[in-house]
């Protein structure tokens, strides 16, 4: 297996808020993609909160059973990357296209002109995917009618919401506010 990563930079610290079903984590461990030591936070329910002037933690709308393991992208990326030999990981080499290579076999070509034979190509190259355009010409992302910004904010800056995070314990929350909603994924210290 070879992995071609278009960026030359280390991806280990990018992203926030990955939620995986427990059965998927068990399967990833069983197949050797991640280790038994995968540092994820177990969450058993989702709590929906709305701002409320009468309570610093907001008003709880409802609790929803939702068993997930949460982590951030950096943790998952490091676990996956650790299992790929350096000789098979090609940073800074963007796949330009897939298709037949000169000997008639299936393969890929990179921006640098490198041709590689491939039995299977998985394109995980984002919403502006070159490979999607090649495999499904005319397919294009469609605006879903909302935008989502995700990031990490230190609890001390949440102005009263740290009590809400204490309240939710082994759950994760969704704060609902005018114009949208956002996940509350507490960092319990062993997941970063």
Which strands make up the sheet holding 106-110, listed edge to edge?
A: 95-100, 106-110, 115-117
Q: What is the pLDDT of residue 73?
A: 80
pLDDT at 120 over 60: yes
How much of the chain is in helix, strand and coil states, percent to nearest 5?
Answer: 20, 35, 45
* Residue carrying structure tokens 């507490």: 186
Predicted local confidence at residue 192, as pLDDT: 43
Q: What is the pTM of this model?
A: 0.68
pLDDT tens-digit readout, 32-73? 999 999 888 888 888 887 777 787 667 888 888 888 888 878
Please give the Cα distance from 114 to 95 (Å, whole number): 9
């Amino acid at each position: 297996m070879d992995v071609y990563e278009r960026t030359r930079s280390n991806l280990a610290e990018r992203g926030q808020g990955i939620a995986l079903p427990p059965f998927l984590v068990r399967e990833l461990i069983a197949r050797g993609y991640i280790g038994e030591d995968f540092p994820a936070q177990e969450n058993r329910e989702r709590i929906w909160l709305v701002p409320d002037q009468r309570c610093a933690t907001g008003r709880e709308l409802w609790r929803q059973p939702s068993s997930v393991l949460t982590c951030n992208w950096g943790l998952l990326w490091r676990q996956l990357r650790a299992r790929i030999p350096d000789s098979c990981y090609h940073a800074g080499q963007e796949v330009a296209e897939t298709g037949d290579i000169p000997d008639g076999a299936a393969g890929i070509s990179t921006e640098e002109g490198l041709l590689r034979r491939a039995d299977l190509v998985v394109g995980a190259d984002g919403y502006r995917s070159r490979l999607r355009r090649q495999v499904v010409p005319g397919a294009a992302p469609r605006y879903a009618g909302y935008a989502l910004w995700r990031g990490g904010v230190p609890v001390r800056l949440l102005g009263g919401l740290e009590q809400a995070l204490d309240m939710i314990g082994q759950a994760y929350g969704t704060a609902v506010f005018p114009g949208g909603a956002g996940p509350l994924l507490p960092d319990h210290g062993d997941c970063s």
